[in-house]
Amino acid sequence: MSQATVSKPEVATPFDVEAVRAEFPALHQEVHGWPLVYLDNAATTQKPRAVIEAVERFYTRDCSNIHRGVHTLAERATAAYEGARTRSARALGAASPEEVVLTHGTTESINLVARSFLLPRLAPGDEVAVSWMEHHANIVPWQIVCGEAGATVRPVAIDDRGVLDLDDLERALSPRTRMVAVSHVSNALGTVNPIRKIVEMARAHQVPVLVDGAQAVPHLPVDVQALGCDFYAFSGHKVYGPSGIGVLWGRREHLAEMPPMLGGGIMIRSVSFEGTTFADPPTRFEAGTPNIEGAAGLAAALDFLDGLDRPALAVHEESLIAHAVETLSAIPGVHLVGTAPERAAVISFTVDGIHPHDLGTLLDGRGVAVRAGHHCAQPVMKRFGVPATARASFALYNTHDEVEVLAEAVRQAQEMFGV
C-alpha cells in the first residue's frame, strides 16, 4: 500500500512535548515493568492536571445541582455548567451558545438528531446516506429510525485507500435523501473527510448533513459555520476531558423545530396534568440532572488545548503519523489498513500470522497500549476483508521514541510467533 503523504504547516518553534507530558499524571507509570506507551487515544485520551483539578474542585468546593438554586454553591455549579456550553460554542466556531446541547457524548448526540430531527421527517422509501467508514454510533441510530419509518440506510462507498467515493455520494443523493451522516475523521482508518465539499454536494439537493467530529476536535481546527454542516457532535473523553459529557451543535432553526427526546426536570417551561410546555433549545434537550462535573472538566480540557501552540502541535502530530507509517510499513509482514492521503492520528494494521487480539496482548506485555478489534466499525473491516485490526492512535503527548518502541514490540511479537 502507498504511504500517506503528510503536509506540514510552517511553524516558528517546535512543540515542547516533554513539557506537555508533564501535565498528564497517568503517563508516568510502568506496565508489566515497562514505561507506559499509550497509543489508544482514539478510544479515550488521558487527562491533564487541569481537567483532574477542575473535577476535583467541583466535588470539593462547588458540588450542587444547577439552575433555580439561589444559594452560592448552586450558582457556582450553574456557572461551571453554562460556562462549558459557552466554551464548547467557541471551540466549534458556533454563532451562539444556544446552538450547543450538552449531552453524554457523540452517541447520544447522534441519537438525538436521528430521533428528534429526522424521524418526524421520514417516510417510507426515504433514504439516509451513510459512509462505509462510520463508527457504529453513526450507523445504528439511523438504522433504528429508518426501520420505524420504512426508510433505508444507503451506504456510500470508500476506495481501497479508505477515501470516501464522492462519485458514489453523488449517486446516493436523490429526492428521497433526508440526511447525510459522515465522520470528519474515521476512527478506524484516520481518513480526514472533505466536509465542506460533502456539504456543498448535499446542499445542492437540499439535504442536511450531520458530522461525527469525535476524532476531529482533538486534532483539527473546527469551524461549523465555515464547514456549513447542519449538526456537529463530539465527546469530551476524546479531547482530554471526562467521560460522560459530549456536545451537539445544531443550527438554531433545526433545534427550534425538534421535540425533546427525553422528558423530566429542567427541560420544561410548565407542567400540569392538562399538559406540558417545553423550554427553548438547548434546555429542552437536557432532561434531568446532567454531568455537571464532566462539563467543568470539558471546559478545562478545551482551555488546556487552547493554551497550546496549535500550529506546532499540528506539525508534531503529523510528523508522528509520518514516522509511524514509514516505520511500520518497513516491517515485513505488516500491512496498513487505510492509506488515505489526508489522515489524522490513527494507524490500523495487521501482522501476518498474528491475530490482532494476540498482538494487542503481546504489545501490552511490553507496556504498549493499542486497541485490537473491529473498533465499532465492522463495515470497515468487511470492506477490507479483515476480521479486525490493531490500531495505534496518537495524541499530543506521544513521542517519536514511542513510535520506535511500538515498532520494536511488533518485531518482538513476530519473533515470538515465528513469523
Q: What are phi and psi of 181, to 5 degrees?
A: -120, 120
CB atoms within 10 A of CB 53: 15
Which set of grid coordinates corresponds to residue 252? Answer: 438554531
46: nearest Cα among 301, 372, 374: 301
Pairwise CA distance, residues 102 & 288, whole Å: 12
Spatial distance between the Cα atoms of 38 and 43, rounded to a whole number of angstroms = 11
What are the C-alpha distances in Å from 378 to residues 141, 160, 337, 374?
15, 16, 13, 6
Q: Is 63 a catalytic residue?
A: no
According to DSSP, the β-strands at 389-393 and 371-373 are: antiparallel
CA nearest 154: which of 112, 175, 374?
Answer: 175
Tell me how far apart the alpha carbons of residues 369 and 40 are, in angstroms, rounded to a whole number: 6
Among 63, 146, 229, 376, the one annotated catalytic? 376
- Integer Cα distance of 141 and 130 in angstroms: 11
CA distance 77 to 86: 14
- Between vectors from CA 336 to CA 334 and to CA 339, what angle results, nearest 5°? 155
- By annotation, the residues acting in catalysis are 376
